[in-house]
A and B are shown apart, each in its own frame.
Chain A
Amino acid sequence: MSSSNTDNRPLSPHISIYRPQVTSVLSILHRITGIGLGVSLLFIVWWFFAAASSAEYFNFVSSILLSPPLKFIFLISIWAIWYHTLTGLRHLIWDAGFGFEMSWVKVSAWLIVGASFFFTALTLFIQVDL
């Protein structure tokens, strides 16, 4: 590439000195929960792989997945899946062309934070069998 002037251009926003706002924090949390849920998904695939293998291997994997540190990870994952789904829905509403008013953006942001914890608690109490 023969383009010049790519090294000393000012960059914006300067993330380390940028004042956190409910909009920017929710945005980055959407990405972080997305990446985190990818990790949880690995454990779920491992669980299916074990179920398709043998009873002994399944018991071994099950004992690891049901250990306290991993149970804690799954608890966080339940919150993360709700959070990511709710913020994802908000993104779909934006993509449809609605809800760009700053007042609605802030209200819906806090609604999502509240709803994500509410639905996490609900998930732990209500369990559905197909």
Chain B
Amino acid sequence: MDFRTDRSKVSGFGSAKDGTDHWWQQRLSSLALVPLTLVFVFQLIPQFGMNQSEIVELYRNPMRAILTILFLGVTFTHLQQGLQVVIEDYIHGKKNKIVLVVLNIFFCWGIGLIGIFSVIKIVFSF
């Protein structure tokens, strides 16, 4: 039997001081993605259908490679943040919620890094 109330257990600790951090990061990444997405998507579409040596030649251009890495990094950060909010809103039960939030972070970082590593590998291929 626990005689302490939930209120008394947390009393005096104060906030974690990062209440608006996730919200702010999401706004920041979405703002950055407006120009990045437009440029990236427009230049990507005609590249479907090219062969590998043409793609390698295109992405060895530093400007294009940097844009792509920036796009992939910010996009996967944004995807991770967005999916986390969806999980927090719709998945019930503390255990399920925490497991999915963690898997989401692992997944987005993993896939994002595969993409970024691939672009870097193309840039430095000879």
Tell me whether A35 and B61 are in contact in the complex, defined as CB-CB below 8 angstroms, given that A44-B44, A52-B119 are known contacts. Answer: no
Residues 54 to 103 of chain B near chain A (Cβ within 8 Å): 55-56, 59, 61, 63-64, 67-68, 72, 75-76, 79, 82-83, 86
Are A92 and B115 within 8 A (Cβ)? no
CB–CB A89/B52 < 8 A: no
Q: Is the CB of B75 within 8 A of A51?
A: no
Asked if A52 meets B41 with Cβ closer than 8 Å, knowing A1-B6, A34-B82, A41-B75, the reply is no
- Docked complex: A67-126 residues within 8 A CB-CB of B: 74, 78, 81, 85, 88-89, 91-92, 95, 123-124, 126
B50–chain A nearest beta-carbon distance, Å: 8
For residue A42, CB closer than 8 A to chain B, the reply is yes
Instruction: Say how far B38's CB is from chain A's closest CB, in angstroms.
Output: 8
Question: CA of A41 to CA of B73 in the docked complex: distance in angstroms?
Answer: 12
Contacts of B119 in A (CB 8 A): 48, 52
Give Cα distance in the complex from A58 to B38, angstroms: 25
B118 touches A48 (CB 8 A): yes
Separation of A47 and B72 alpha carbons in the complex (Å): 13
Measured between beta carbons, the chain B residues less than 8 angstroms from A92 are: 27, 30-31
Q: How many angstroms from the CA of A115 to the CA of B31 in the assembled complex?
A: 19
| B14 contacts A by Cβ under 8 Å | no
Q: Which residues does chain A contribute within 8 Å of B30, judged by CB atoms? A: 88, 91-92
Chain A 36-74 near chain B by CB (<8 Å), digits 1 or 0: 011001101101111110110011001001100000001
Q: Which residues of B contact A37 (CB under 8 A)?
A: 79
User: What 7 A-B pairs have minimum CB-CB distances, sorted nearest first?
Assistant: A58-B52, A52-B118, A45-B115, A48-B118, A52-B121, A128-B42, A127-B46
In the complex, given contacts A1-B6, A42-B111, A55-B53, what are 6 additional A-B residue pairs having Cβ atoms less than 8 angstroms apart? A50-B52, A59-B51, A62-B48, A85-B38, A95-B27, A127-B46
User: Footprint of A on B, CB under 8 Å?
Assistant: 2, 5-6, 27, 30-31, 33-34, 37-39, 41-46, 48-49, 51-53, 55-56, 59, 61, 63-64, 67-68, 72, 75-76, 79, 82-83, 86, 111-112, 114-115, 117-119, 121-122, 125
- List residues of A whose CB falls within 8 A of some B CB: 1-3, 31, 34-35, 37-38, 41-42, 44-45, 47-52, 54-55, 58-59, 62, 65-66, 74, 78, 81, 85, 88-89, 91-92, 95, 123-124, 126-130
